[in-house]
Amino acid sequence: LRRHATGMPVDDATLDKLLPGDGDDGSEVGKLMIAYPLAVRMLLGNLFRPRSGRVSSLLTRTKCARLLALAVLAAERAANEETGDEKELDEEARATAEEQAKGMFLTGSQMCELVENMMSFSVTSDMNNQDPNPSAGVRLSILALKSAPIAQGVVIWARELVFGPDFVTATSYPSLSSSILSLIRVIALQHPFTRPTVLEIALVFLKHSNSEISYQKTTELKEQCLRLLLFLLANGEVASVLGSLTSRLKQQGASEIDASLVRYFVGNLLDVIQPPYSVLMGQSLHAFLAAPRCIEALGSDYFQAEKKAKLRKLVKDLKISDHRLPI
């Protein structure tokens, strides 16, 4: 388990050793899986990593999905024991639950494979969507919203895809990127544990550069990234979002966030945040606003007087005293 969790390709022989035999309900295997989170992540990777990183054999995929299903059942049982709800499933009910979980993993893997080869795909934030013929993107959204393990698999897929060397030069990049950003946003809303990875994905989008794409389209994508960062900030990721942006603004030669994007981010930030403000917010925002490139961008006449007035009030409310700030 440890060896394969570090990235070694998994094979059928290894999976066969882990799978329960006849007459075994798999509960001990499930406990073993949840005792090794990296192994669970490895199995998710085999199902969800994009393109060549995904296991191609349907048989191997099914074995991975079954092990993950056993892990889900074991985790649910452990959670029920902690809350005192120790209702035991009979053999038939357990087998049904296992098949349902396994089917969700296989479907989620298949939907990722479908949408990564599209120009774009639709996303929904309604996990109770009743569309009788949902598109691949909608099906993937619903699965990820309903299931935390599927959500984890999808953000693994998204991260691996956007970090890939060929993604930014693909013909589908402009439209597919917008769909991916929409998908990870709805997932991050439902599943807080995915937010650090979603932040990582948004930041790498800011670094992307493609000379074949118009300046307008590039700006639209980066503004969508910044709106995602604002969403994360508003949902508790204050230090990580502002800290990451501050580091980017202080880097010499880093040009992925130009002055207009800084003004866009701050202008929208002023509309999002509301008192009471935490000490952490004050410290993080002070460091961000004091970055030289931020000072330059906000000191420009392009930053509206109305926004400057809001910024001035915010700085006063946070009791930030810094003569360098353009207020």
What are the φ/ψ torsions at residue 296 (nearest 5 degrees)? -65, -45
Residues 171-193: b if buried by 16+ CB within 10 A, e if exposed = eebbebbbbbbbbbbbbbbbbee
pLDDT of amino acid 130: 87
pLDDT of amino acid 91: 83
- Residue 6 scores a pLDDT above 80: no
pLDDT of amino acid 253: 67
* Confidence band for 2, pLDDT divided at 50, 70 and 90: low
Mean per-residue pLDDT, 246-259: 85
| Residue 183 CB-half CA count within 13 A | 34
Residues near 154 by beta carbon (within 8 Å), at least 6 away in sequence: 48, 108, 112, 140, 144, 183, 184, 187
Of 275, 276, 286, the closest CA to residue 321 belongs to: 286
Handedness of CA 36, 127, 139, 121 (dihedral sign): negative
Handedness of CA 221, 223, 226, 231 (dihedral sign): negative
Contact by Cβ (8 Å): 144, 158: no
**pLDDT higher for 91 or 169?**
169
CA distance 77 to 30: 10
Mean per-residue pLDDT, 79-108: 88
CA geometry: angle 204, 209, 215, nearest 5 deg: 120
- Residue 246 scores a pLDDT above 80: yes
Contact by Cβ (8 Å): 150, 144: yes
Say which range, 81-85, 206-210, 244-248, has the weakest mean pLDDT: 81-85
Tell me the whole-structure pTM to 2 decimals. 0.93
Say which range, 46-50, 224-228, 234-238, 323-327, has the weakest mean pLDDT: 323-327
For residue 143, the one-letter residue type is: L
For 204-234, the pLDDT digits (tens) are 999 998 889 999 999 999 999 999 999 999 9
For 138-155, the pLDDT digits (tens) are 999 999 999 999 999 999
- Residue 4 scores a pLDDT above 70: no
**pLDDT higher for 82 or 116?**
116
- Residue 200 scores a pLDDT above 70: yes
- Residue 85 scores a pLDDT above 80: no
For 285-322, the pLDDT digits (tens) are 999 999 999 999 999 999 999 999 999 999 999 988 88
- Residue 7 scores a pLDDT above 70: no
Mean pLDDT of the chain: 92
